[in-house]
Structure 1
Amino acid sequence: MKNQLRIFSVILILLLNACSTGPKISSSDPDKPIAPVIPPLTSVPIIPPYVISPDVATLKIANWSVLPDWKNDDIRPALETFLKSCSALRNQKLWVKICNRAVSMQHKDNAALRKFFEHNFKPYQVINSNGDNNGLITGYYEPLLKGSRKLSKRYRFPLYTVPKDLLIVDLGKLYPQLKSARIRGRLEGQRIVPYYSRAEIEADPSPLKGYELLWVDDAVELFFLQIQGSGRIETDSGEIVRVGYHNQNGYSYKSIGKLLVKRGELPLNKASMAGIKEWGLKNPGKLKELLHQNPSYVFFRELPTNVFGPIGALGVPLTAGRSLAIDPRAIPQGAPVFLSTTWPNSSKKLNRLMVAQDTGGAIKGGVRGDFFWGFGKDAAKKAGSMRQIGKMWVLMPNDYVPRIRYNK
Structure 2
Amino acid sequence: MADPAVTVLRFSDLEGWAADDHEAALSAFLETCGDLNDPDWLPLCSLARSGPGARAFFEQLFTPVLVEDGVPMLFTGYFEPELEGSLTPDETFAYPIYRKPPEILDGVPWLTRQEIEESDVLDERGLELFWLSDPVDLFFLQVQGSGRIRLPDGSLRRVGYGGKNGREYSSVGLELVRRGLFEAHEVSAATIRNWVRDNPEEGRALLQVNESYVFFRPVDDVPPEKGPLGAMNRSVTEMRSVAVDPEYVPLGAPVWIEKEGADPMRRLMIAQDTGSAIKGAQRADIFFGTGEEGGRAAGRIRDGGRMVVLLPIQRAYAMADAVRR
Q: TM-score, normalised by structure 1?
A: 0.73
Are residues 1:250 and 2:166 paired?
yes
Are residues 1:66 and 2:9 paired?
no
Q: After the TM superposition, which residues 278-289 of structure 1 pair with which residues of structure 2 at under 5 Å, given as runs?
A: 278-289=194-205
Are residues 1:75 and 2:13 paired?
no
* Structure 2 CA distance for partners of 1:86 and 1:162, relative to 1, 3 Å: same
What is the match of residue 151 of structure 1? Answer: 89
Query: Secondary structure at 1:93's aligned position in 2?
Result: coil
Are residues 1:223 and 2:170 paired?
no
* Structure 2 CA distance for partners of 1:103 and 1:200, relative to 1, 3 Å: same
Structure 1 residue 327: Cα displacement: 1.6
**1:141–1:372 CA contact under 8 A, matched in 2:** yes
Percent identity over the alignment? 39
Please point out which of 93, 104, 108 is paired with 1:183: 108
What is the match of residue 390 of structure 1? Answer: 305
What is the match of residue 288 of structure 2? Answer: 373
- 388-397 vs 141-150, greater mean Cα deviation: 388-397
**2:169–2:277 CA contact under 8 A, matched in 1:** no
Question: For 1:164 and 1:222, how far apart are their aligned partners in 2?
Answer: 21
**1:58–1:330 CA contact under 8 A, matched in 2:** no
**2:169–2:276 CA contact under 8 A, matched in 1:** no
Are residues 1:95 and 2:41 paired?
yes
- The AA in structure 2 aligned to 1:114 is R
Are residues 1:334 and 2:280 paired?
no
- The AA in structure 1 aligned to 2:229 is I
**What is the CA deviation profile of residues 315-362 of structure 1, one whole-angstrom value per residue up to 9, with x for unaligned ones?**
2211110001112222211111111113xx51x431111111112222
Question: For 2:255 and 2:206, how far apart are their aligned partners in 1?
Answer: 38
Question: For 1:82 and 1:119, how far apart are their aligned partners in 2?
Answer: 16
**What is the CA deviation profile of residues 360-406 of structure 1, one whole-angstrom value per residue up to 9, with x for unaligned ones?**
22222222211111112221111101011112222122332525889
Structure 1 residue 200: Cα displacement: 2.8
Question: For 2:169 and 2:30, how far apart are their aligned partners in 1?
Answer: 34
Are residues 1:324 and 2:324 paired?
no
**1:198–1:297 CA contact under 8 A, matched in 2:** yes
| Unaligned runs of at least 5 residues, structure 2 | none
**What is the CA deviation profile of residues 188-236 of structure 1, one whole-angstrom value per residue up to 9, with x for unaligned ones?**
xxxxxxx332223223645443211110001001101101111111111
**1:88–1:315 CA contact under 8 A, matched in 2:** no
- The AA in structure 1 aligned to 2:43 is K
What is the match of residue 172 of structure 1? Answer: none
**2:67–2:248 CA contact under 8 A, matched in 1:** no
What is the match of residue 234 of structure 1? Answer: 150
Query: Secondary structure at 1:361's aligned position in 2?
Result: coil
Question: For 1:118 and 1:263, how far apart are their aligned partners in 2?
Answer: 48
* Structure 2 CA distance for partners of 1:129 and 1:100, relative to 1, 3 Å: same
- The AA in structure 1 aligned to 2:111 is Y
Query: Secondary structure at 1:309's aligned position in 2?
Result: coil
Query: Secondary structure at 1:396's aligned position in 2?
Result: strand
Q: TM-score, normalised by structure 2?
A: 0.90
**1:161–1:300 CA contact under 8 A, matched in 2:** yes
* Structure 2 CA distance for partners of 1:121 and 1:259, relative to 1, 3 Å: closer
**2:222–2:228 CA contact under 8 A, matched in 1:** no
What is the match of residue 314 of structure 1? Answer: 232
Question: For 1:151 and 1:377, how far apart are their aligned partners in 2?
Answer: 24
**1:243–1:302 CA contact under 8 A, matched in 2:** yes
* Structure 2 CA distance for partners of 1:290 and 1:81, relative to 1, 3 Å: same
**What is the CA deviation profile of residues 228-255 of structure 1, one whole-angstrom value per residue up to 9, with x for unaligned ones?**
1111111111111111111111222233
